[in-house]
């Protein structure tokens, strides 16, 4: 098993799927000749040519719609939207066409399109380049939403998304493209539904996804070494549908739950997971479930303010200690 970077895992999945099926194409701004802002499509233009590796104009709604239209004919486009902030512009086609066409056609047409886009707060990119939008996508019926937290997931989820007959939104993270991790040498598919137990524990469940899983890992180490608290980490890599059974299983084991998200609180992954905990595990709980989330502000440019706007592993530790009456 080789250790490769997140972007390399995505690039490998693209390459394998494009080599296998001539109807798998990729498209987006700068993804061809320029090789992709985050290198996720590096080398593909040279290998597969302009018909299958499409540099698009900077017109997100238009080219996303084009990919969706092509998918109606069985083409499997992997569309990169360079930043999730620009995906707002493509929402009409994602919401109104890709997600609804199967239903409103009575099952005749499906849109097997894959839309990849990084979200998140990186390094002082300001309000219009720092959005997290997973809560918006996970609220759309007819769309699958997955969010890889490591290279193995990034590879396996993209492979499965390309083979899925449903439209799939893959929420990546700008800070994670250079993150290293082990990816199986042989072909590997990650199921599009479910969750992964990243760390088994007994005292409290930390629900994370994407970058917040890494805060949870750091926090769990501190909690274990310094406070004797054994946290379980559940990686909710599928945001739609959420793994109701997996959430229930872990909370029934630890009896305590904290949901950690980089996104703002009003309406979000945390709210949704808390609702599931309430519906499924109310009588299992030893403490009221808690959310750790961003402050509800447009992300500021100033580094100190930016850092204060989003949570990190220290906020996770604080929330756990408070829950245990230790802070």
Binding site for other proteins (CB under 8 A): 22-23, 25, 51-52, 54, 56-57, 59, 61-75, 92-93, 96-97, 101-110, 112, 141-142, 144, 164-166
Task: Spot the catalytic one: 8, 17, 29, 60.
Answer: 60
Instruction: Decide if 278 contacts 246 (C-beta within 8 A).
Output: no
* CB of 298 vs other proteins, minimal distance in Å: 24
Complex with other proteins: residue 102 or 135, whichever CB lies closer: 102
Instruction: For other proteins, give the closer residue by CB, 58 or 200.
Output: 58
Shortest distance, position 19 Cβ to other proteins, whole Å: 16
Candidate list 129, 173, 293, 313, residue with the active-site label:
129
- Mark whether 196 is an active-site residue: no
Q: Is 60 a catalytic residue?
A: yes
29: left (phi over 0), alpha (psi -120 to 50) or beta: beta
| In the complex, least distance from residue 150 CB atom to other proteins, rounded to whole angstroms | 26
Q: How far is the CB of 216 from other proteins (least distance, A)?
A: 29
CB nearer to other proteins: give 57 or 325. Answer: 57
Pick between residue 114 and residue 292 the one whose CB is nearest to other proteins: 114
Q: Smallest gap, in angstroms, from Cβ of residue 142 to other proteins?
A: 5
Closest to other proteins by CB, 6 vs 237, is: 237
List, by residue number, the catalytic residues: 60, 129
């Amino acid at each position: 098993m080789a250790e490769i970077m997140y972007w390399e895992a995505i690039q490998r999945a693209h390459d394998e799927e494009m080599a296998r099926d001539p109807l798998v194409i990729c498209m987006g701004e700068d993804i061809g000749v320029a090789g992709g802002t985050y290198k996720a499509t590096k080398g593909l233009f040279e290998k597969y040519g302009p018909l299958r590796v499409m540099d698009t104009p900077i017109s997100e709604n238009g080219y996303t719609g084009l990919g969706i239209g092509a998918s109606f004919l069985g083409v499997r486009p992997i569309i990169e939207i360079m930043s999730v902030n620009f995906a707002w512009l493509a929402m009409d086609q994602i919401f109104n066409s890709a997600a609804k066409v199967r239903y409103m056609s009575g099952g005749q047409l499906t849109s097997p399109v894959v839309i990849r886009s990084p979200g998140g707060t990186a390094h002082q990119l300001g309000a219009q380049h720092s959005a997290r939008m997973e809560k918006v996508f996970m609220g759309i019926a007819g769309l699958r939403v997955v969010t890889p937290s490591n290279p193995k997931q990034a590879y396996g989820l993209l492979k499965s998304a390309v083979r899925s007959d449903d439209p799939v939104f893959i929420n990546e993270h700008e800070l994670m493209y250079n993150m290293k991790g082990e990816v199986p040498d042989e072909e590997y598919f990650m199921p599009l539904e479910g969750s992964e137990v990243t760390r088994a524990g007994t005292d409290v469940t930390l629900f994370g996804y994407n970058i917040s899983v890494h805060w949870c890992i750091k926090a769990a180490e501190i909690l274990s070494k310094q406070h004797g608290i054994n946290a379980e980490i559940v990686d909710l890599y599928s945001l739609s549908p959420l793994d109701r059974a997996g959430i229930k299983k872990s909370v029934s084991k630890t009896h305590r739950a904290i949901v950690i998200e980089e996104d703002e609180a009003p309406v979000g992954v945390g709210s949704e997971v808390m609702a599931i905990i309430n519906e499924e595990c109310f009588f299992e709980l030893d403490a009221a479930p808690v959310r750790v989330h961003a402050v509800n502000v447009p992300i500021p440019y100033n580094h100190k303010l930016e850092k204060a706007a989003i949570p990190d592993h220290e906020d996770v530790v604080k929330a756990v200690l408070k829950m245990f009456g230790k802070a």
